[in-house]
Structure 1
Amino acid sequence: MNRIGRWARRWYRAWRASRLGTRLAFGLGALSLVVFAIVGALTVELMHDYLNRRLDEQLKTSQVAQVPHLRESKDNPEVVYSWYSAVFDVREGHAVPQPGSTLPNDVRPLAQVAEEATSGDLFRTIALPGQGSYRVRACPVETSQNGTGTVLLSAAPQADLDNTVRQLMLIEVIAFLIALAILVVAGRVVLRRGLRPLSDMAGTAHDIASHDLTATADLPVRASGTGGGAEVEELRTAFNLMLSHIESSLAARTEANDRLRRFVADASHELRTPLTSIRGYADLFRYAAANEPEEREAHLEKIRAETARMSVLVDDLLLLARLDARDVEPPVRPQRMDLTEIAAAAADAFRAGRPGHPLTVSIPEEPVLLHADPARLRQVLDNLLANAAVHTAEGTPVELAVTATDGMAVATVTDAGPGISAEDQQRIFDRFYRVDNSRTRAAGGTGLGLSVVHSLVVEHGGTVSLESRPGRTVFTVRLPLSS
């Protein structure tokens, strides 16, 4: 039993390791073999029953034709084909054949049937010693009520019938084996062609596995080809959609990693600059405290200024981090507010802090109600106004306008400066990006102001856009009105 079990396990493992087309072909062959066996068994059984009925009808027809003549003439029964025919005299339960009957050497099996036939017709299948099976029919010719009389008995050999059935079985076995072989071979060919799209997709997967995805996120291969039916086409489409999703995910991850590296590099540089200044002023302060006390206040003021600059940078970084991880801490606290009030306060602060830039304000008299965070929207407007002042010359006019149209609140900040090039407009909202393409602070801030504006506006469900040409630059913020 253990040997059989090991053999069965090895066979099963080999079966599982074979190709799908081979397994399907042999599975189809096994199913067909079962169907052929059932059909063959039914055919043979039906044919055997049919031939038996035909033989019984022949026996009956022969005897029905002889019985009237035997009653009148008392002659010997007619010999039909190679049958045994005899008339038995039945007396006191014993059957004795009449002289001249055609009988085998051993008549006992036939005599037993004749003894039972005094009460009516009957059929029996018996085995004669040394001659095989015979189909026997016995019918009474003349009988009395006490069970005596004469009985006509005919016995037909079943060898021809059995030979016919065996030939039918042989023919069916050969035909079914040929049909099974053709079915398996043809099925294997058809299945191989039908499963070829799956092999192509496997080849595509191997091609993808051979690519170095650490160097590039592009997946240049796709599952191509046609055919295979609706199911294979659906699988091919799903496979290509999966590859597109993987490609976009890899591209997004690569871009995020690149942005993270740039962010860390820029943040390190921006933080290093004020820290270097603070360290230098601290050294000067220590020297001045020992040798020139009158310069201490000046150095302390510069240290405070650099600390304030670093605090602004850190605050912007923390805000952007909170906007990126909004599930950790809510970045904004929206409430019902009036955008005109925020715009008026931002304009007053700009006039006080930037007197060299004339500001024109266009604010409607009716309130423009939003569901937003007032402090963050004030930060948006302050950053846009500060950006207009930093990147334009002294005396350049600036305009702040607020309108409400088509269910949206629109705030625009316009300046008459030199404008922004088309190349810079593509990256103007990137973090740490500055139009001057340098890392000095002489031409502007840290490069986070517009990034903060973009992130805050998007967080409020709005959009911010830029239109610029020499002499006119417009930043437009659109936010949904409160219902």
Structure 2
Amino acid sequence: MSRAGRWARRWYAAWRASRLGTRLAFGLGAVALVVFAIVGTLTVGLMQDYLSRRLDDQLKTSQVSQVPHLRTSTDNPETVYSWYSAVFAVSNGSAVMQPGGALPSDPQPLVKVAEEAAKGDIYRTVYLKGEGDYRVRACPVDTDEGGTGTVLLSAAPQADLDNTVRQLVFVEVVAFLIALTILVMAGRLVLRRGLRPLADMAGTAHDIASHDLTATANLPVRASGDGGGAEVEELRTAFNLMLSHIEASLAARTVANERLRRFVADASHELRTPLTSIRGYADLFQYAAANEPAEREAHLSKIRAETARMSVLVDDLLLLARLDSHDAEHPVRPEQMNVTELATAAADAFRAGRPHHPLTTRLPDDAVVLQADPMRVRQVMDNLLANAAVHTPDGTPVELSLSIEGGEAVVRVTDAGPGITPEDQQRIFDRFYRVDNSRTRAAGGTGLGLSVVHSLVVEHGGAVSVESQPGRTTFTVRLPR
């Protein structure tokens, strides 16, 4: 790479590393420099053209006033200012200066102009050796068609015109440099003030980076202040919205992690209980196998019961995991189904399995058809009915109803048990949550039944809620048709 290329690369890297305000200020200065250059060039060009035309007019005025007199006399031409002036006799394309004229030491360039002027006025800029550029005007005084006669020539120095133009250029360069310096400095100050809100937002970002977000999801800082214009205000609002979104996401992740930790701990505890029982009964079975066959069968029955309970727990955990992950093997397969038939079947199964809880049903005569998974909807009904039986004493009436409200199929399971406190109602659908006060369970449960109900209903696009007071508890499931 050449030296110029390396220098350009270093300059470009330094330019990119500079602050935005500095780059904007110098960019503004570069634009202003281009504008100044264009304006200065046009001004100088127009001024030079104007002075040249004025000089030509002066030459013409001077000669026009002399030509009538020179036609009738042989007097010398007038000498105006420090101009050269002479009368030439032109014959056969050759010009000879007449006595009385004033010409430089080397008049040859002027002679050539006089020779060309025999047929008409001529303006020409010529260079005279040792004296510089001169503006020359030559006009015929008295010539015939053959170009023979006399010609008046005047030559004015352009030094004054050039000096005026050079002074104008100098004044413009100085004025533009001063204006450019003021513009860059003032622009830098204005930009620094205008970009201060961005610097404040950068400071807010650094402040957030200094906080330990692993301990808490709260972001205690926000971009504050005002000014900077509509664009900066829009950026500030978007920045604060982003921080709020990040804070909400972090809070949600913290809650999810806490729920996962609690879920794993509860699942481990629930699985440990039947596993401990199975291990104990297995040890007893090993001892009883060599002694009493009847005692051995009792231990085997206990092992089967604990294994079945653990299988239910594992199945519920697997179902909830699949509902959460939305994997390829989705557990819900909707189809056209009759909810009335499902409710009737669930009621019959409840009466057969829970004879100590009288069940009444209020079902419509017509079929209630909706798009849902019949096995999962039946599971929802079975879980709600089982929940009512498990958490109420024997003899507690239970009611199952089905109705159409608006565009939804509404299933309600009501029991006349002791009720659920408002605090417990808020967490009744949490996984592994149990009500351990007035609604103590009469048989072992996993604490996942209502969680499965909630997840399945939400997966179908519906909603489940609970209303409870002493002597009446109602679970309501709404499924869209």
Amino acid at match of 1:117: A
Quote the Cα distance in structure 2 between the aligned partners of 1:248 and 1:340: 42
1:354 corresponds in structure 2 to 354
- Secondary structure in structure 1 of the residue aligned to 2:328: coil
Quote the Cα distance in structure 2 between the aligned partners of 1:351 and 1:327: 36
1:72-91 equivalence runs, <5 A: 72-91=72-91
1:339 corresponds in structure 2 to 339
- Secondary structure in structure 1 of the residue aligned to 2:265: helix
Q: Residue 441 of structure 1: CA displacement? A: 7.2
C-alpha deviations, 1:436-473, integer Å up to 9, x for none? 189x9767511100000000111111100011111111
1:392-431 equivalence runs, <5 A: 392-431=392-431
Q: Residue 187 of structure 1: CA displacement? A: 1.0
1:131-170 equivalence runs, <5 A: 131-170=131-170
* Runs of at least 4 residues off by over 4 Å: 440-444
- Secondary structure in structure 2 of the residue aligned to 1:426: helix
Amino acid at match of 2:349: A
Q: Residue 5 of structure 1: CA displacement? A: 2.6
Quote the Cα distance in structure 1 between the aligned partners of 2:477 and 2:258: 28
C-alpha deviations, 1:377-403, integer Å up to 9, x for none? 111111111111111122211111111
Percent of aligned positions with the same letter in both sequences?
80
Quote the Cα distance in structure 2 between the aligned partners of 1:68 and 1:184: 62
Pick closer, same or farther for the CA change 1:115–1:447 going to 2, 3 Å.
same
- Secondary structure in structure 1 of the residue aligned to 2:222: coil
Amino acid at match of 2:17: A
C-alpha deviations, 1:321-366, integer Å up to 9, x for none? 1111223211112111111111111111111222221212111111
1:64 corresponds in structure 2 to 64
Quote the Cα distance in structure 1 between the aligned partners of 2:94 and 2:326: 111
Quote the Cα distance in structure 2 between the aligned partners of 1:338 and 1:260: 36
1:7 corresponds in structure 2 to 7
Quote the Cα distance in structure 1 between the aligned partners of 2:470 and 2:285: 46
Aligned residues: 480
C-alpha deviations, 1:46-93, integer Å up to 9, x for none? 111111111111111111111111001121112222211111122444
Quote the Cα distance in structure 2 between the aligned partners of 1:413 and 1:173: 93
- Does the 8 Å contact 2:76/2:100 carry over to 1? yes
1:196 corresponds in structure 2 to 196
2:98 corresponds in structure 1 to 98
Amino acid at match of 1:426: Q
Amino acid at match of 1:43: T
Quote the Cα distance in structure 2 between the aligned partners of 1:300 and 1:192: 83
Quote the Cα distance in structure 2 between the aligned partners of 1:311 and 1:147: 129
- Secondary structure in structure 2 of the residue aligned to 1:231: helix
Amino acid at match of 1:480: P
1:37-436 equivalence runs, <5 A: 37-436=37-436
Amino acid at match of 2:165: V
Larger mean Cα displacement after TM superposition, 242-251 or 418-427 = 242-251
- Secondary structure in structure 1 of the residue aligned to 2:96: strand
2:479 corresponds in structure 1 to 479
Larger mean Cα displacement after TM superposition, 340-349 or 310-319 = 340-349
Q: Residue 30 of structure 1: CA displacement? A: 1.0
For structure 1, list consecutive stretches of 5 or more residues without a partner in the other structure: none
Amino acid at match of 2:188: R
- Does the 8 Å contact 2:85/2:155 carry over to 1? yes
Amino acid at match of 1:183: L
C-alpha deviations, 1:100-154, integer Å up to 9, x for none? 2222233222222112211211011112222221101011112234433211011
Amino acid at match of 1:246: I
What RMSD in Å do the two structures reach over aligned CA positions?
Answer: 1.7
Amino acid at match of 2:147: G
Q: Residue 404 of structure 1: CA displacement? A: 0.6
1:21-32 equivalence runs, <5 A: 21-32=21-32
Amino acid at match of 1:95: A
- Does the 8 Å contact 1:436/1:443 carry over to 2? no
1:424-463 equivalence runs, <5 A: 424-436=424-436, 444-463=444-463
Amino acid at match of 2:144: S
Q: Residue 245 of structure 1: CA displacement? A: 2.2
Larger mean Cα displacement after TM superposition, 179-188 or 242-251 = 242-251
- Does the 8 Å contact 1:90/1:149 carry over to 2? yes
- Does the 8 Å contact 2:125/2:135 carry over to 1? yes
Quote the Cα distance in structure 1 between the aligned partners of 2:422 and 2:444: 19
- Secondary structure in structure 2 of the residue aligned to 1:341: helix
Amino acid at match of 1:419: G
- Does the 8 Å contact 1:391/1:444 carry over to 2? no
Quote the Cα distance in structure 2 between the aligned partners of 1:425 and 1:244: 30
